[in-house]
Structure 1
Amino acid sequence: MNRTRWIFVAILAIALLIVGASLALRSPGNTATAGFTVDRPEQVTIRILTALPVEPWVRSAAAAFNDGNHTLEGATIRVEIVAVDGLTALGRWDRNEYGALGPDQRPEDLTEAERQALADFPTAWIPDSRYLVELANASYKERLGRDVFLTDGEYRARPIAISLFAWGVYETRAQVLLDHFGEINWQTIHDAAIAKGGWPELGGKPEWGYFKLVVPDPSKNVGGLAAMIAMAGEYYGRTDISVADVTNPDFQAWLAELMGAVTDFSSASAYTAEDFALFGYSVGDGGQLLESDLLQNMQGILTRWDDPLQIYYPTYVTWFDFPFTVWVGPETSALQKNAALAFQRFLLSEEQQKAALAYGLRPANPNVPVDATEESLFVKWQDRGVLPVVERTAAMRNPDRDVLLALLRWFELNVAR
């Protein structure tokens, strides 16, 4: 056999080896992922960071999902829920506390110890609002040069439930405010807060003292920032707020008078509506809180206090859409990412969207109305002012990072104590 034929035979042998290796990698015993290439597991675990207002519902849904023994590519899916406030989670993403790989790190080059360190990396995140996802993604894109959370495609962020901020005011107090001011809004609350004669000046009882406002602590709960954004929207009469608006001395003076009506931020927990239900008038006379939190605590308020709570809807409203957001980086496998999508579809199913009604959450699935079940809190508390369909309002635009930081800084310097 001459030299040319030897070369031909060698090339043919190498080609056969390459084809054989490719077929072996595609066999049932192996799977290639967007992250690590590993043997197909019998179980795949997905870890979901979940905002506090939807955590009880999502955790209940996860238990039902796990009981159903759902599988993907032969692996049983197990869902783990980690409750975390949206602002807290955003800070951890910004500081990279979850341990995302650097731009020069490749999954295949990691040591076994480094792989183990990624075992608890979040597969998905359900924050309070879409703007938190956008802020976290912008931070990582600057650091890594690529997106980690997507706005389109299969893995895009998708809302799983909706809630908005509404006024919750004890009925006796609400009636006095309506008689004196004609409506309940942030200007009404501001004027009630600075009334030097307290409630008697407004037409209320002397024993009520001075008006006490209830809003979440902005440093503990993203709802507090949402309330401040709504305050600014009403003050300026528009839906977009800038840093210049936040630092306007006239606005800051008005905001300080308004926030000064809060009894004590330092003693309040992150669960403001729960405090409202537990401690009644000592916490406040009324305030703007997440509708779902108000509805979930309505029974506790009625059980403990003679005065029922009444719900009113503001003109300048802030919404939370709780987007289910899959991490698309190499820290998690394709199997984990697709398992997260399976759980996302489960949450958006009609059965689970109906279950969300019992937690005071408005369905993201358009096929499910708020009165779809008898257990719906929108049905149970309709005599307390809750509306199945909210009338036209001015929805506040999502703030950027600079606006959020300006509001937080103002709060730290002028209110927090």
Structure 2
Amino acid sequence: MMRRSQIVFFLIILSAMAIVAIGFALQSSGDSNDNNNSSNTSSNEPITLRVAVNPVIEPWIREAAEDYSRDNPRVKNRPVTIQVISQDSLTVWQGESGWSVLNHPQVWIPEANYALQYVQEGNLGLRYTVLENTLAQTPIIWGAYQSRAEVILNKYGSFNGKTIQQTAELEAWSNIGGDSAWRFIKIGFSRPDSKDSGFAALLTLASAYAESPSLNNQLMNDSALWAWLGPIVDSVPNFSSLGADPADRMVNTRQSAIEIALLPENQWLIHYGDLSKIEPILLYYPENYLLLDFPFAIWDGQETTEEERQAAADFGKFLLSDAQQRAAGEKGLRPAKLTDLAQFTPFNTAANQVQLTLAGSPISLPGRAGALSLLRWFEGYRTAP
């Protein structure tokens, strides 16, 4: 028979083993609950969709993102948040944006498809693919105060890139029959080496010089083109004060800062009413026009999850809905899906000035190497603000 002391010893051992077993069971149960909680948290974690967008179309996209969020969108029961980031494409396709495989927006809406083409040509490792070829469109066009436009028309008989260049060469309004009180000829467009709309203006001018819608790398390296552009660039008083929307600057400074400008059509239309209170504004469409078409592109790599892809596709479809296309039209943009521009207020306000159907030919752009050559010329030529 076992002694009493031995029985007590075995009871103590059995009790200890039971305590250990219960501890393991509780820990296992806790781990299971933690895993379940973690799984539930993960499944309900918000999807943040970063959308980099060109400044020209940014006001519409920001408002659209707010409208989209009001409906509490979800993908696989996960709420979707849209984060809009203002981004000019120039820094992206020149490799200066800081974007990489590990740091990039899931969605990119550049000013035009050529920005995506330049990214590919540059072998920058940025893997974007187009989901929608265009969300809306706007051409680059001329505008001028009526008094200034009439002087140019009286002198040269037409208002276009060629006659603007001839005007710029003469520097002062008094030299072409204008009022001497107007002093120097003041032309405006955004800075071409930092703003996409400014680069688009420079390409539009190159097309006017060539009298052709086809731009190639050889032309971009032509010193004769550079010499021709020089007086126009010199006629911009201060690029740094113009920002991304020179038409807004015109409203605030009247004729003292800009009298003639080459801008996206939607900027003219949005500010047309306010500008016309200063003096009637006349709009002129280049024979060969550069059309900003704002494609909707998504990062095409394993870094983009299935849920993010679905969220991006849903947001793209939302932007092409009738309601959002009408909202784009009210921002002075030409909607991708709605062709009756007369129904939109900005187009009605400037009805007698707008080409509802664009005449002429769309400009085909040079390759990335040619575009870089034109930018390098500008940077070397215009070192002042």
Q: TM-score scaled to structure 2, two decimals?
A: 0.84
Gaps of 5+ in 2: 1-36
Alignment of 1:69-80 (within 5 A): 69-80=72-83
**Structure 1 residues 99 and 41: CA distance shift in structure 2, 3 A:** farther
State whether residues 131 and 399 of structure 1, in contact with CA within 8 Å, keep that contact through their aligned partners in structure 2: no
Q: Which amino acid letter does the alignment assign opposite residue 43 of structure 1?
A: P
Q: What are the superposed Cα offsets for residues 147-206 of structure 1, whole Å, 9 maximum, x if unpaired?
A: 82225xxxx34210100011110011112212221111111001111226x323323212
SS at match of 1:122: coil
Corresponding residue to 1:386 among 312, 329, 354? 354
Q: Which amino acid letter does the alignment assign opposite residue 58 of structure 1?
A: I
SS at match of 1:226: helix
Query: Which 4+ residue blocks in structure 1 deviate beyond 6 angstroms?
Result: none
Partner of 1:22: none
| 1:136 is the counterpart of 2:119 | yes
| 1:149 is the counterpart of 2:128 | yes
Instruction: Give the whole-Å Cα distance in 1 for the aligned partners of 2:152 and 2:375.
Output: 29
Corresponding residue to 1:249 among 212, 219, 223? 223
Q: Which amino acid letter does the alignment assign opposite residue 75 of structure 2?
A: L
Q: What are the superposed Cα offsets for residues 59-103 of structure 1, whole Å, 9 maximum, x if unpaired?
A: 101101000112222222221111122213434xx25723414xx
Q: Which amino acid letter does the alignment assign opposite residue 177 of structure 1?
A: I
Q: What are the superposed Cα offsets for residues 242-300 of structure 1, whole Å, 9 maximum, x if unpaired?
A: 33322322222111122222112244323322212211222221121110111122233
State whether residues 193 and 210 of structure 1, in contact with CA within 8 Å, keep that contact through their aligned partners in structure 2: no
Identity rate, percent? 27
| 1:123 is the counterpart of 2:106 | yes
**Structure 1 residues 42 and 251: CA distance shift in structure 2, 3 A:** closer
Alignment of 1:221-370 (within 5 A): 221-303=195-277, 305=278, 307-365=279-337, 367-370=338-341
Q: Which amino acid letter does the alignment assign opposite residue 332 of structure 2?
A: G
Instruction: Give the whole-Å Cα distance in 1 for the aligned partners of 2:55 and 2:206.
Output: 25
Corresponding residue to 1:209 among 179, 183, 189? 183
Partner of 1:406: 373
Report the Cα offset of residue 368 of structure 1.
Answer: 4.4
Corresponding residue to 1:200 among 174, 188, 201? 174
State whether residues 190 and 244 of structure 2, in contact with CA within 8 Å, keep that contact through their aligned partners in structure 1: yes
Report the Cα offset of residue 48 of structure 1.
Answer: 0.3
Q: Which amino acid letter does the alignment assign opposite residue 237 of structure 2?
A: T
Q: Which amino acid letter does the alignment assign opposite residue 358 of structure 2?
A: V
Corresponding residue to 2:86 among 83, 86, 90? 83
State whether residues 142 and 261 of structure 2, in contact with CA within 8 Å, keep that contact through their aligned partners in structure 1: yes
State whether residues 278 and 301 of structure 1, in contact with CA within 8 Å, keep that contact through their aligned partners in structure 2: no
Partner of 1:12: none
Instruction: Give the whole-Å Cα distance in 1 for the aligned partners of 2:282 and 2:97.
Output: 42
Q: How many residues align?
A: 348
Corresponding residue to 1:182 among 157, 162, 171? 157
**Structure 1 residues 382 and 134: CA distance shift in structure 2, 3 A:** same
| 1:62 is the counterpart of 2:65 | yes
The alignment yields a C-alpha RMSD, in angstroms, of 2.4
Instruction: Give the whole-Å Cα distance in 1 for the aligned partners of 2:355 and 2:218.
Output: 35
State whether residues 141 and 285 of structure 2, in contact with CA within 8 Å, keep that contact through their aligned partners in structure 1: yes
Of the structure 1 ranges 168-177 and 246-255, higher mean CA displacement relative to structure 2 is found in 246-255
Instruction: Give the whole-Å Cα distance in 2 for the aligned partners of 1:73 and 1:30.
Output: 16
Report the Cα offset of residue 372 of structure 1.
Answer: 2.8
Instruction: Give the whole-Å Cα distance in 1 for the aligned partners of 2:213 and 2:221.
Output: 17
Of the structure 1 ranges 218-227 and 345-354, higher mean CA displacement relative to structure 2 is found in 218-227
**Structure 1 residues 234 and 95: CA distance shift in structure 2, 3 A:** closer
Instruction: Give the whole-Å Cα distance in 2 for the aligned partners of 1:96 and 1:331.
Output: 18
Of the structure 1 ranges 266-275 and 252-261, higher mean CA displacement relative to structure 2 is found in 266-275
Q: Which amino acid letter does the alignment assign opposite residue 148 of structure 1?
A: R
Q: Which amino acid letter does the alignment assign opposite residue 389 of structure 1?
A: T
